[in-house]
Amino acid sequence: MQNKEVDILVVGAGIIGTAIGAELSRRGAKVCVIDKGQVGKGCSYGNAGWMTPCFSMPLPMPGMLLKSMKWLMDPKSPLYIKPSLSLDLANWLFKFMQAMNETQAKRAVDCLVVLSQKSLTEYEKLGQKYPEMRFEQKGLLMVSRTPAGVAAAVEELNYVKELGVPGKVLNPDDIAAMEPALKSPLLGGVYFSHEAMAEPFQVVQAFAKEIRLHGGEILENTELVDLEIADNKIEKVLTSQGEIKAKQVIMATGSWSKSLAKMLRLRVPILGGKGYAMIVPPLAKQPKYPMMLVEKKIAVTPRQNSLRIAGTLELVDQDFSITQKRVENIKQGAREFLDLPEELQVQELWAGLRPCTPDGVPLIGYHKNISNLVLAVGHQMLGLQSGAGTGLLVADLVEGKKPFVDLSVLDANRF
């Protein structure tokens, strides 16, 4: 690569970086997006593909303290925090506990619902232009076999319905009529009618096509290795392939952001929330709807000729290894709800690290001391569902327009 000069340099070509790059290219900026690997092969590759404003609750919700203590002890739980002596983990957990209060949760949900709804509208348009995304707006089912699971689903509905996310409570007969693939007995659930799903990797590719269509470029295998900062400004970005000068630099580096933040002289306490997704052949009774199996925290997404089953959240620091036991837990959990064959053939098994902030809210905004640096990281469980909206928000910020959400909730310098 020859040394370059652009208006906007986006670091990271996951859903967040490509959504930002696409929006700024459409608005006429000269954009370059770099990635140390390939476009969309980070956490955005194999996620459940849900675009679901109903799931806008941050991880540390009020009342989670006891539950999180239990997870700490139980490697079989859907959410697991492996005990370790890491200072980063202790610091993260301390802030996680601090964030479990009603005021904080309400502000976060208000903001994340808006970001997710904006995204949904954008994805609908993008899906029409790029049918390979397989955007489908069928709604989403939350189903449960236990009273606690039903209560959790109804609580989710109550939280978001006043923010304009429609849904209704279902009894077991309603569920059986809607989704014959589910085994009985079920106790109840909730149907959110406006939620959508798509092929996550194809969504990133659609944004990448938009970037190129509007004159931008994407450089793969190009890693940011250092920054030259002078007078509170990034003068140059040093990459593994050469130097890039940019008027504005945007960091969209997902779960890699904590270590990069040291270069930025900023605390970005992001840990990886490791999750697995497996693709299996279509079932004899193939589900029609995307479904959350509530008490197991398993996401089931019907695909054209297969089924995606995703779940677990294990807090780690850049560890991509696959623990077969946790994969088996997902299979067993799904088996309680669906007729899976005895010998389940897994066509693809994937692990991704959700970029998790301790308060469950992304960091979006300008760096307090570096005037041409914007952060857009830490989208935890909802990077796809809030990605397109993040693209609009960051483009507005860069253009000096009034943001459409309360930016103080997302403050990039809050840690």
Ligand X SMILES: Cc1cc2nc3c(=O)[nH]c(=O)nc-3n(C[C@H](O)[C@H](O)[C@H](O)COP(=O)(O)OP(=O)(O)OC[C@H]3O[C@@H](n4cnc5c(N)ncnc54)[C@H](O)[C@@H]3O)c2cc1C
Following DSSP, what letter does each residue of 362-415 receive, concatenated? -EEEE-SS-TTEEEEE--GGGTTTTHHHHHHHHHHHHTTPPPSS-HHHH-TT--
Q: Which is nearer to ligand X, 118 or 187 (CB)?
A: 118
The answer to whether the beta carbons of residues 215 and 25 sit under 8 Å apart is: yes
Q: Counting contacts by CB under 6 A, is residue 172 touching ligand X?
A: no
Q: What residues between 81 and 140 interact with ligand X by CB under 6 A? A: none
- Could you tell me the smallest distance in angstroms from the CB atom of residue 165 to ligand X? 15
Q: Counting contacts by CB under 6 A, is residue 34 touching ligand X?
A: yes
In 3D space, the residue among 47, 4, 3, 27 whose CA is nearest the CA of residue 379 turns out to be 47
Q: What is the number of alpha carbons within 13 Å of residue 405 lying toward its C-beta?
A: 28
What count of residues does the chain have?
415
Q: Counting contacts by CB under 6 A, is residue 15 touching ligand X?
A: yes
CA 352 – CA 45 distance, rounded (Å): 8
Q: Counting contacts by CB under 6 A, is residue 16 touching ligand X?
A: yes
The answer to whether the beta carbons of residues 234 and 373 sit under 8 Å apart is: yes
CA 349 – CA 327 distance, rounded (Å): 9
Residue from 114, 249, 261, 382 touching ligand X (CB under 6 A): that is: 382
Q: Which is nearer to ligand X, 127 or 254 (CB)?
A: 254
Phi and psi for 100 in degrees, rounded to 5?
Answer: -80, 65
- Output the CA torsion sign for 159, 299, 384, 303: negative
- Contact stretch for ligand X (CB under 6 A) within 9-17, 78-86, 161-169, 401-409: 9-17
Binding mask 269-308 for ligand X (x = CB under 6 A): ------xxx-------------------------------
Q: Counting contacts by CB under 6 A, is residue 42 touching ligand X?
A: yes
- Could you tell me the smallest distance in angstroms from the CB atom of residue 79 to ligand X? 12
- The secondary structure of 297-309, three-state, reads CEEEEECCCCEEE
Residue from 4, 9, 10, 14 touching ligand X (CB under 6 A): that is: 14
Q: Counting contacts by CB under 6 A, is residue 330 touching ligand X?
A: no
Please, which residues bridge with residue 230 across strands? 233
- Contact stretch for ligand X (CB under 6 A) within 35-43, 149-157, 278-286, 334-342: 35-43
Which 3 state secondary structure label does DSSP give 139?
A: coil
Which 3 state secondary structure label does DSSP give 29?
A: coil
Q: Could you tell me the two tokens for 389?
A: 């909206």
The answer to whether the beta carbons of residues 377 and 371 sit under 8 Å apart is: no
- Contact stretch for ligand X (CB under 6 A) within 10-18, 62-70, 148-156, 176-184: 10-18
Q: Counting contacts by CB under 6 A, is residue 250 touching ligand X?
A: no
- Could you tell me the smallest distance in angstroms from the CB atom of residue 271 to ligand X? 13
Size of residue set near ligand X by CB under 6 A: 41
- Could you tell me the smallest distance in angstroms from the CB atom of residue 157 to ligand X? 18
Q: Counting contacts by CB under 6 A, is residue 223 touching ligand X?
A: yes
- Could you tell me the smallest distance in angstroms from the CB atom of residue 306 to ligand X? 16
In 3D space, the residue among 282, 296, 357 whose CA is nearest the CA of residue 99 turns out to be 357
Q: Which is nearer to ligand X, 105 or 260 (CB)?
A: 260
- Could you tell me the smallest distance in angstroms from the CB atom of residue 391 to ligand X? 11
Q: Counting contacts by CB under 6 A, is residue 354 touching ligand X?
A: yes
Task: Tell me whether strands 79-81 and 307-316 are parallel, antiparallel or unpaired.
Answer: parallel
Q: Which residues bind ligand X (CB under 6 A)?
A: 11-17, 34-37, 41-44, 47-50, 223-224, 252-256, 260, 275-277, 310, 352, 354-355, 379-385
